[in-house]
Amino acid sequence: MNLSKNHEPQQPMRRLFQYLKSYKKQLGFSMTYSIGNKILDLMPPLLVGWIVDTVSGSTPGWIIGLTGTKDPWSLALFISVMIVVIFGAESFFEWLYKRGFMRLAQDVQHDLRLDAYQRLQRREIAYFEKQRTGNLMAMLNGDVNQLERFLNTGFNDILQMAVLIIFAGITLWAASWEMALVGMAPIPILLIGSFYYQRAISPHYQNIRGAVGHLSNRLENNISGILVIKSFTAEDYEAKRVEEASAQYKKVNYGAIRLSAAFVPLIRMFIAVGLAVAMLMGAYWILNGYDKLTVGELTFFAMMIQRLLWPITRLGQIFDGYERASASARRVFGLMDSPNQIPDTPNPVQVVKANGHVQFNNVQFEYGNGLKILKGLNLNIPQGQTIGFAGTTGAGKTTLVKLLLRLYDVTGGSITVDGNDLRDFEKSNLRRQLALVSQDVYLFHGTVADNIAYGMENVTLKQIEQAAKQAQLHDFITSLPDAYQAMVGERGIKLSGGQRQRLSIARAILKDAPILILDEATSSVDTETERAIQENLNELTQGKTALIIAHRLSTIRQADQIAIIHEGKIAELGTHDELLDNQGIYADLWAVQTGDVRG
C-alpha cells in the first residue's frame, strides 16, 4: 500500500460544498443578498424603457394605476424617485453580500486550514517520509488561499451570472419572445463552448498546482540547506535548479494562458451577431408600424441584451477561477479524506502511568520495500531496567524506537507494555508513557525554557532548571545574557550540536515518563559532557525503564543488560563483562572502539 498517496475526491467542488454545510446560514444570507443586489442592478434598462415610453406618450398602465395620474412630468418624477430608491437598495445589498461572502471566506479558510493541519498531524510518519515539505506547505497555504478567493468572489460571480440569465431571460421574453429567441440564440453556443473550455483547461490547472508544489519544495530545500550550499560553493548550481523549477511553472501557466486568452475574443463574435440581428428586427417592426414593440421596449431590449450577453464573455474567467479552486479542493480534501494507515483501536486501553515492562515478541518488520529489517526479534525488558542496544549501522536499532512509539506497526509478532499490545493503546496515551531523546534534535523557534518545557503545561522555572542541571546544561544557559529566556533561533541554529542534544535530554527528563528512550543521545556531545551525562545516567534512569541506543559503547557500559542486534534479531544479550567474555560481536565492536577487549 502506498501510504504517501492521498485519496483525492472525484468531485472536489461537491466535497467543498459538503464542507460548507456547517456555514449554511451564513452562506444562505449572503446568497440572498447577492440575488437581491443583482436583480436591482438589472433594473436600469427597465427604468430607462419606462421613461422613454412615458415621454413618448406610451406610459405602462401599471405606473398610471399606481400613481393615479397621466401627467408625463409627474410620471417621470415618480420614475426618477424609483431610480434613487432602487440604486440605494442595490448599494445596501451589495454591502451586505460582500461583507457576508468576505467573512464567510475568512471563516472557511481559517477552519479549513486548521482542519487540514490537524488531519496532517494525525497522518502516519511514513506519509511525511514520502512527502515533500514544500508540497505540504503549498496545500496548507496556497491551495487553502485559492479556495478562500473562490468563496470571496468566484462563487458569487457564478451565482450572479445565473441570476442574470434567469432575470434577463424572463424580462426579455415578456417584452418580445421573438426578439428574445434571436438575441439569446448565442447563449447555448457560449455555454457549450464554456463546457469544452472547462474540460480543456482543467488539466492545465492541475499541472499548475503541481508545479507550485515542486517549486516550493525546491525553495524550501535550498533555504534549509543554505549552509551546505555555501560550503560547497553550489550557489550557481542551485540557482539553475530553481530556474528550471520556475521555468516549468511558467511553462504550465503559458498552456492555460493560451486557452484563456482565446476564449473571450471567440465568443464575443457570436454575441455581436445575436445583438445585431435582434436590434435589426426591433427597428424593422417599429419603422413599419407593427404593433409588437414600443420605442421604450426596444430601448430596454438593447440595454438588457447587452447586460445579458457581454457579462457572459467573463465565463472564461469564471471557469478559470472555478477550475483553480477545483484543483486546490482536490488536493486539500484529498489530504483530509485519506484514512490514517495506523488508526487507533475503537476501545483502547486506558493507562494513566505505565509501570514500564516492555516486551518484544517475535517482532517482524519491513518498510514496504520487501526488505525485512526485523526477523523475529524477542526481548523482555523488566520494569525499571536499563538496557543498551548496539549493532552495526542498519541493524534495526532505530526501527525499534519507531515501533515502540507506534510510528509504524509491526508486520508480524507484537510489542507489549505492561502486557498490553501497543495496538490496543490510543497513540497519544501510549506516547505520553515515553520520553524520547533522538539523535536528530529538533528545536522550535522560541526561548530555551519554552523548548525544555515543550508540550508540557503548568511547568515551573524551578522544574525546568532542575532538568537542565541533570542534563549538564544549566551552567551554559545561565551564561547567556537572557539565561532561560534566551532565543534559540529557528531549529536551534544559535546553539551548537552538543547544546541542542543536552537541551533535548533536559526536555525528556522534565517529561518524567516511565519509559525513557535515548537514541544516540550523546552522539553530538563532546567527551567531557558525555562523561558527565554517563555519571548521571543512573540518576536519569532512576525508577524508569530505559532503552539506550548507542554507537559509542561506553555510553551503555553500565546498563543492566546490553542487546546486540544483528540481522534483525537479538544476537547477544548480557552485561558488558559477560559480552566481552563471550568474544562475540560486542567484543569485536568494543575492541574497534577502545583497542582493549577488557576495557
Task: Tell me the CATH number at 581.
Answer: 3.40.50.300
Indicate if 366 and 274 belong to the same structural domain. Answer: no
- 298, 317, 337: which is the final residue of a domain? 337
Indicate if 305 and 365 belong to the same structural domain. Answer: no
Cα distances (Å, whole numbers) of residue 204 to 199, 231, 321: 10, 39, 13
Indicate if 452 and 577 belong to the same structural domain. Answer: no
Residue 491 in any domain: the answer is: yes
Indicate if 462 and 333 belong to the same structural domain. Answer: no
Residue 426 in any domain: the answer is: yes
Q: What confidence score (pLDDT) does residue 35 get? A: 93
Structural domain for 182, as ranges: 12-337
Residue 4 in any domain: the answer is: no
pLDDT tens per residue, range 433-451? 888 888 777 777 788 888 8
Q: What confidence score (pLDDT) does residue 32 get? A: 92
Amino acid, single-letter form, for residue 181: L
Name which of 167, 196, 187 is nearest 273 in CA terms.
187
Neighbouring CB atoms inside 10 A of 213's CB total 22
Q: What confidence score (pLDDT) does residue 447 get? A: 84
Name which of 386, 361, 357, 356 is nearest 570 in CA terms.
361
In the chain, % helix, strand, coil (3-state, to 5) comes to 65, 10, 25
Indicate if 92 and 239 belong to the same structural domain. Answer: yes
* Number of domains the chain contains: 3
pTM of this prediction exceeds 0.75: no
Indicate if 185 and 86 belong to the same structural domain. Answer: yes
Residue 442 in any domain: the answer is: no
Neighbouring CB atoms inside 10 A of 284's CB total 11
Indicate if 454 and 367 belong to the same structural domain. Answer: no
Indicate if 261 and 400 belong to the same structural domain. Answer: no
Average pLDDT, the chain: 82
Indicate if 497 and 518 belong to the same structural domain. Answer: no
Contact 179, 278 (CB under 8 A): yes
Q: What confidence score (pLDDT) does residue 533 get? A: 63
Q: Is 488 exposed, middle or buried (0-12, 13-18, 19+ CB in 10 A)?
A: buried
Amino acid, single-letter form, for residue 95: W
pLDDT tens per residue, range 268-277? 777 778 778 8
> DSSP class of residue 492?
G
Indicate if 223 and 317 belong to the same structural domain. Answer: yes
Indicate if 316 and 464 belong to the same structural domain. Answer: no
Indicate if 473 and 598 belong to the same structural domain. Answer: no
Cα distances (Å, whole numbers) of residue 281 to 173, 178, 268, 294, 302: 15, 9, 20, 13, 11
Q: What confidence score (pLDDT) does residue 99 get? A: 92
- 286, 308, 337: which is the final residue of a domain? 337
- 285, 307, 337: which is the final residue of a domain? 337
Q: What confidence score (pLDDT) does residue 89 get? A: 92
Q: What confidence score (pLDDT) does residue 598 get? A: 47
Task: Tell me the CATH number at 95.
Answer: 1.20.1560.10
pLDDT beneath 70, residues of the chain: 1-8, 227, 313, 316, 369-370, 489-493, 521-537, 595-599
Q: What confidence score (pLDDT) does residue 1 get? A: 38
